[in-house]
Each structure stands twice: as structure tokens, then as C-alpha cells.
């Protein structure tokens, strides 16, 4: 299970504005996980900005970023959709869609100007959304006696080990999240620290969203 980067999904769509030579560019960036969701978002932006001359877009999907598509929406070929797509690739994100709306200001920007404007605006939208890295962690449940709790909690804090809320019963079950590459060494160390009294159960790896 590999790590990958995507846009934050917590705040919905992010918006950014860029103006140059009287043309107004508006970026909307959002986390999506399917082509249908990407298409629906692009359509929603076209409906919202129905009076704009162009609503150009790009998206990348899949943990390996193996699905990608862009659309110039009437701009000269390669001057809009591809720069938006490149902005996503440059930041290494997937499961993401960006729509850049343009209101033409009457002054032509030329092909180079369009490429820079669309790419820059898309980048602003991506940064406004925020990038998360989905990293793999292995859940480890460790049941210990109450007299071992305080020193263990101190150790976990000092080592910056991720934890979830403990479960309190006859014993205390600590719920840890360990990077796969640290699993063997950490569990061995925890076993030593509890003199072999801890009951340790390892679950299936899952990804956790981590700010970049």
C-alpha cells in the first residue's frame, strides 16, 4: 500500500481568483474519486458560470494517477486544459478536479499568456484547497494493565506515535497507528516496555490523511 497526495475533502470546493489584462480567471478545485463525480462538478461549474466565455477543466484520478483528462472548452488547443492538468501533476495530486472559468476582458493574451494564466490560476485553486498525503498506517490494539498506562502514554507522546481514543474496561486498550516500516521494531519495543504483559493485536493497514 503506497502513499499518495490529494486535495482536502473537508472544506468542499476551494475558490481562487486571478486577473490579468482585464480578463478574470476563477479556479474551483475539489476532491473527487470517480469520473462521474468529476464530470458532475465540471457541469455544475458550467451551469454556475453560464455567462462566461470559457469553463476549462482537468482532472486526475486513481491512487496511481493513471486516469487524466483535460478540456480547453473553446480556447486554442493546449492553452487551457493542459496547463490546468500540469498544475495538478506538478503538485503530485490525484483524485482531484479543477475548473478554471474565464471572463474575457477584451484584450487577447496570446497562447503563451493563456497557458501561464490558466496554469497559475489552477495552482492558486489547488493551494486554496490544501494538499493531503494519504499515508498507510497499521492499526495496533494493545491491551495493558492500568499500572502500565502512564509510562506508556509518556512514551507514545515522546515518540510522536499516532493514537486513537483508548478503550477503558478491565484493562486499557490503546489504539495505535504505526507506519508499516516501523511495525516490527515498535511492537518489539512495546513488548519489552510492558515486560511481555501487553496483549497486542495487529489489524489491516489503512490510509490516514496527513497534512503536507
Closest CA to 15 of 175, 126, 115: 126
User: pLDDT tens for residues 79-133?
Assistant: 999 999 999 999 999 999 999 999 998 888 899 999 999 999 999 999 999 999 9
List, in order, residues 6 or more apart from 98 with CB less than 8 Å away: 27, 28, 29, 30, 57, 58, 59, 84, 87, 88, 122, 125, 126
Arithmetic mean of pLDDT over the chain: 94
Q: Could you tell me the domains of the chain?
A: 8-129 (3.30.230.30), 133-211 (3.30.70.240)
User: pLDDT tens for residues 130-183?
Assistant: 999 999 999 999 999 999 999 999 999 999 999 999 999 999 999 999 999 999
The pTM score is 0.82
Checking if the pLDDT of 191 tops 80, the result is yes
CA 30 to chain centroid, in Å, comes to 10
When pLDDT is cut at 50, 70 and 90, the band that residue 12 belongs to is confident
Amino acid at each position: 500500500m503506497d502513499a499518495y497526495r490529494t486535495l482536502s475533502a473537508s472544506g468542499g470546493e476551494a475558490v481562487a481568483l486571478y486577473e490579468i489584462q482585464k480578463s478574470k480567471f476563477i479556479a474551483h478545485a475539489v476532491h473527487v474519486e470517480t469520473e462521474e463525480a468529476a464530470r458532475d462538478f465540471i457541469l455544475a461549474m458550467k451551469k454556475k458560470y453560464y455567462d462566461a466565455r470559457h469553463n476549462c477543466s482537468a482532472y486526475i484520478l486513481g491512487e496511481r494517477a493513471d486516469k487524466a483528462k483535460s478540456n480547453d472548452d473553446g480556447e486554442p488547443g493546449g492553452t487551457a486544459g493542459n496547463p490546468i492538468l500540469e498544475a495538478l501533476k506538478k503538485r503530485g495530486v490525484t483524485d482531484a478536479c479543477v475548473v478554471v472559468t474565464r471572463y474575457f476582458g477584451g484584450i487577447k493574451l496570446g497562447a503563451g499568456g493563456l497557458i501561464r494564466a490558466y496554469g497559475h490560476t489552477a495552482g492558486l485553486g489547488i493551494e486554496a484547497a490544501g494538499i493531503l498525503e494519504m499515508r498507510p498506517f497499521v492499526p495496533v490494539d494493545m491491551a495493558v494493565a492500568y499500572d502500565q498506562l502512564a509510562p506508556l502514554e509518556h512514551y507514545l507522546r515522546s515518540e510522536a506515535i499516532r493514537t486513537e481514543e483508548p478503550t477503558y474496561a478491565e484493562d486499557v486498550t490503546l489504539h495505535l497507528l504505526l507506519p508499516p516500516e516501523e511495525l516490527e521494531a515498535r511492537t518489539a519495543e512495546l513488548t519489552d516496555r510492558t515486560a511481555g504483559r501487553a496483549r497486542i493485536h495487529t489489524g489491516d493497514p489503512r490510509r490516514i490523511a496527513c497534512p503536507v
